[in-house]
């Protein structure tokens, strides 16, 4: 490794985390990409994550099994809750209880074993302000907790949670990633993509993504199940 | 449930968490006990957890699979690191990276689904001061983070991490639990218990446990593989 700093990158396989991986790589980190099989409906995401990790030159890519569906409570893991086709107010039903907290905690464990002090996550306070665990104050509190939780923290080595997309619009994210060479056709954002990765075109995630490409002036090669309305 | 408040109790099957479950029950909570299969060597703990949950009248008991061994780095999950027979200074090799953070995060997810605002964990700053994630300042930071992470927190419903054992000696814990009717023969503390739950008698956990019974003046019915030295 000859001094290259290692980072753990939470990689969902979506547009945002693919951009985050490209940012971490361009910052010189050896990137250890971490995805979760958490019983999500849109399993095409995991295939996308593997493609993105390979394309972006991640040092390695691991998938951690996490059976959050056992608790239920979210449209993304509970087949009894419908994925909405309208923008919602308040906390969306697609919110998975404590998801980012759990994923960051597991990233923290891996970072500690890797002797990495840098974790990257693609949370965004602009488009997803309804999720409590995407806000800057939440990330700051997690970072403070993490620095008390770990061996590195006790030894005075400050751990940092990087959120390079926090204040960017979807269009800015698409523009930034395109500049860094991200191939967005490898990514899947849709909450209910089919097994081949084709997007529904009507869920919140699809609408935000499409709008992002339009506003960024970047051609959108996303494959849709049906022509978007 | 007719108004009974629900709590999530982290239940390892050891002496401490069995006492915590008894405390939460005696405080009137409906107790949802949560154990983890995290690749620990001492799997007899999980059998013990099931016995304790049944004996203490938990509302339910779930075992969450969590493959922390995939990352390595601890004597409790990594067969290449020996469990020490001497008291250590600093952070012990039996420390599992980010373990309490991960377990509390998953408890947080379940609490949110259960609409519970109370999580109990048997951490202790007296006997295990070498573990960074057993300290009061760590628990306070986790609680602050949790209240920013969740729907309940956003809605102003304060979530609390209860640590009733934090400042108690092992003898005080044994005395308290005995008074609450805990049957400690159901519990397993040993880091390397055999498949039937018999303790090694020589690891840190065994020594602390035995000393606790002696100092509390409570008969110790722990089954040992060999006569302790």
The set of residues, in sequence order, having a beta carbon less than 8 Å from that of A44 and lying 6+ positions away, is A13, A188, A193, A194, A195, A196, A197
Here the tokens at position A69 are: 């569906």
Min Cα separation A118/chain B (Å): 15
Tell which residue, B140, B136, B128, has the closest CA to residue B90. Answer: B128
- Per CB-CB distance under 8 Å, the chain A contacts of B72 are 113
Inter-chain CB proximity B64 and A70 less than 8 Å: yes
Residues in a beta bridge with A31: A7
Min Cα separation B18/chain A (Å): 23
Cβ atoms < 10 Å from Cβ of A26: 13
Tell which residue, A84, A104, A89, A99, has the closest CA to residue A191. Answer: A84
B100 touches chain A (CB under 8 A): yes
Distance CA A165, CA A213 (A): 16
Q: What is the largest CA-CA distance in chain A?
A: 55
Full DSSP string of B53-72: HHHTT-SEEEEEE--GGGT-
User: Which pLDDT value is given to residue B81?
Assistant: 55
Helix (H, G, I), strand (E, B) or coil at B223: coil
Full DSSP string of A171-187: HHHHHHHHHTT--GGG-
Q: Which residue of A has its CA nearest to B129?
A: A154
* Domain ranges within chain A, ordered by starting residue: 6-216
The reply, when asked if residue A200 is annotated as ligand binding, is yes
Read off the pLDDT of residues B182-197 as tens digits, 9 standing for 90 and up: 999 999 988 788 888 8
By Cβ distance, the residue of B98, B142, B151 closest to A150 is B98
Please check whether residue B29 is in contact with residue B96, taking contact to mean a CB–CB distance below 8 angstroms. no
- Per CB-CB distance under 8 Å, the chain B contacts of A137 are 148
Distance CA B192, CA B200 (A): 6
Tell which residue, A205, A214, A130, has the closest CA to residue A171. Answer: A214
Min Cα separation B47/chain A (Å): 20
DSSP tally for chain A: helices H, then strands E: 7, 5
By Cβ distance, the residue of B95, B113, B137 closest to A148 is B137
Q: Is the ipTM of this complex over 0.85?
A: yes
Q: What is the pTM of this model?
A: 0.88
- Tally the residues of chain B: 229
End-to-end CA distance of chain A: 49
Inter-chain CB proximity A113 and B66 less than 8 Å: no
Q: Which residue of A has its CA nearest to B97?
A: A109
Please check whether residue A184 is in contact with residue B183, taking contact to mean a CB–CB distance below 8 angstroms. no
By Cβ distance, the residue of B64, B71, B149 closest to A109 is B71
Distance CA B102, CA A8 (A): 16
Min Cα separation B211/chain A (Å): 28
Distance CA A23, CA A10 (A): 13
Residue spans of chain B under pLDDT 70? 1-3, 39-42, 72-95, 127-129, 227-229
Please check whether residue B144 is in contact with residue B161, taking contact to mean a CB–CB distance below 8 angstroms. no
User: Which pLDDT value is given to residue A130?
Assistant: 73
Inter-chain CB proximity A100 and B153 less than 8 Å: no
Reading chain A (229 residues) residue by residue, the pLDDT tens digits are 446 899 999 999 999 999 999 999 999 999 999 999 876 666 788 999 999 999 999 999 999 988 777 776 555 555 555 555 555 555 555 557 888 999 999 999 999 889 999 999 999 988 666 788 889 999 999 999 999 998 777 777 899 999 999 999 999 999 999 999 999 999 998 878 888 889 999 888 899 899 999 999 999 989 888 764 4
User: Which pLDDT value is given to residue B227?
Assistant: 60
A6 touches chain B (CB under 8 A): no
Q: Which residue of A has its CA nearest to B105?
A: A102
Q: Which residue of B has its CA nearest to A97?
A: B109
By Cβ distance, the residue of B67, B99, B105 closest to A101 is B105
- Per CB-CB distance under 8 Å, the chain B contacts of A149 are 98, 100-101, 132-133, 138, 141-142
B36 touches chain A (CB under 8 A): no
The reply, when asked if residue A27 is annotated as ligand binding, is no
User: Which pLDDT value is given to residue B172?
Assistant: 96
The reply, when asked if residue B212 is annotated as ligand binding, is no
**CATH number, span B6-216:** 3.40.50.620
């Amino acid at each position: 490794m000859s001094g290259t700093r290692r980072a753990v990158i939470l990689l969902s396989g979506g547009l945002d985390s693919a951009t985050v991986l490209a940012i971490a790589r361009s910052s010189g980190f050896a990137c250890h990409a971490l995805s979760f099989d958490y019983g999500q409906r849109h399993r095409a995401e995991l295939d996308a994550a593997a493609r993105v990790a390979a394309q972006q030159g991640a040092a390695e890519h691991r998938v951690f099994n996490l059976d959050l569906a056992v608790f239920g409570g979210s449209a993304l893991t509970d087949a009894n809750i419908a994925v909405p086709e309208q923008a919602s107010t308040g906390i969306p039903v697609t919110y998975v209880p404590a998801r980012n907290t759990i994923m960051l905690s597991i990233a923290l464990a891996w970072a500690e074993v890797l002797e990495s002090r840098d974790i990257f996550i693609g949370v965004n306070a602009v488009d997803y302000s309804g999720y409590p665990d995407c806000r800057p104050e939440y990330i700051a509190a997690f970072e403070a907790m993490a620095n008390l939780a770990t061996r590195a923290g006790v030894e005075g080595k400050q751990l940092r949670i990087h959120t390079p997309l926090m204040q960017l619009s979807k269009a800015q994210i698409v523009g930034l990633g395109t500049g860094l060479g991200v191939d967005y056709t490898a990514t899947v954002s849709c909450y209910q993509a089919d097994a081949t990765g084709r997007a529904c075109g009507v869920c919140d995630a699809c609408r935000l993504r499409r709008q992002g490409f339009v506003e960024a002036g970047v051609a959108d090669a996303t494959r849709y199940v049906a022509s978007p309305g």
